[in-house]
Structure 1
């Protein structure tokens, strides 16, 4: 996957239609929302507003028409000039865009929100969407315990190894999203593991950090 690097963020290149800008922050921002997102996107020659979440590891998906702070774990909108943001330090950010519907979205998929059914709660047929999985834990580092093993929907996405059991969030997300109409060729995985790349991404599992990577999308 090609990325375009800027001072404070990296953008997904050739992943989405031209009507959106999407990417993730670098680890050189102070951790102050909403100012961080304006700093990260300061290279854009346009004004924009922001919406982000008080993330509560839920199944709540919010369809919105104006800026603000919302409680839940996913945001979708048709509005131009409104950047949608999720914050992660191991959870998987999923970024959505449909040129046909004029819709963009972001999902904060931690294991609790995945277990609660957040992807099932996306209120769109995903046939016309493209989805990018941003930086977060991958199966190489996603060691899990009984809270996963006792949840049937996770069963097919857990691999037992000598060191423990490991969850594959990418395969889980694909399975869920393909069931909602997403075409396999329209799911793109950045392959960026937050735990494996300490120089690039924050990871709570690695050092219990309170800092977060911002994943975002803006309809321009």
Structure 2
């Protein structure tokens, strides 16, 4: 099956993509394009899937750069192929390198200042977004010569507010650190709330001064034929879940 890749007009003409789960070699609960080496899927199959992604991005497999994601606000500057340690975002100004982020409900965010020739890729869950990973990525891009006013940021498929139920302690934590975050919580059942993760991400990006920020408006939880979802796998009682990949290159 052919890979299915979602793209954003705003990031054209850069080669980029939010890959769906379609077109991969994995089977069972991972069926499709599982690119998560941290999953219990067969490592050889994950390598095949990543090689297909690299081919689609027109880079060698080793030029598909990644980090060991830890839900932090840490950003690394990538100057050469290979793995790049523990962090949750990468930036580069080197043509031929592809920045790859894995998600399964969290926000994949691809950024570019095409005039300066600087790109970034971010894994942003609620913790990373609250702790400043998006702002830190813009800082790291500016260190390479980017201008945030010329930077475009696109949030890819992630969990939508309708599917993201949280407890009151979650709201309390956000309110303590970012009072304006209360705007992104809606009342749910009983004492539960529904959190708007992409809406919150867009607000943080826009307040940080990016020239343009948008969300593709795809919900990972609601579309099992297209996307992996950590929360959906928990609700289904599955032992593990696949990871989606999002990539950008100069």
Q: TM-score, normalised by structure 2?
A: 0.77
Per the alignment, in what secondary structure is the counterpart of residue 137 of structure 1? coil
Structure 1: state its 5+ residue gaps.
Answer: 1-5
**Residues 153, 213 of structure 2: 8 Å contact kept:** yes
Alpha-carbon offset, residue 188 of structure 1: 2.3
Partner residue, 2:78: 64
Deviations 1:64-119 (A, max 9, x none): 21122221101111111111111111111111111122111111111121222212
Number of residue equivalences: 212
Alpha-carbon offset, residue 13 of structure 1: 4.7
Partner residue, 1:216: 247
**Residues 167, 193 of structure 2: 8 Å contact kept:** yes
The structure having more radius of gyration, on CA atoms, is 2
Q: 1:102-181, aligned counterparts within 5 Å?
A: 102-122=117-137, 123=139, 124=142, 125-150=147-172, 151-152=174-175, 153=178, 154-162=181-189, 164-181=192-209
Partner residue, 2:3: 8
The reply on whether 1:77 has 2:77 as its aligned counterpart is no
Higher helix share: 2
Instruction: Calculate the aligned-residue CA RMSD, in Å.
Output: 2.1
Deviations 1:15-53 (A, max 9, x none): 313133333242422545554232124245554612111
Partner residue, 1:93: 108
Q: Distance in 2 between matches of 1:43 and 1:121?
A: 29
Deviations 1:157-184 (A, max 9, x none): 111133630111122112111122113x
Q: Tell which deviates more after alignment, 106-115 or 119-128.
A: 119-128
Structure 2: state its 5+ residue gaps.
Answer: 23-31, 36-42, 235-239
Higher strand share: 1
Partner residue, 1:3: none
Per the alignment, in what secondary structure is the counterpart of residue 111 of structure 2? strand
Structure 1 stretches of 4+ with a deviation exceeding 2 A read 19-23, 29-38, 40-48, 161-164
Q: Distance in 1 between matches of 2:94 and 2:136?
A: 20
Alpha-carbon offset, residue 127 of structure 1: 0.9
**Residues 9, 40 of structure 1: 8 Å contact kept:** no
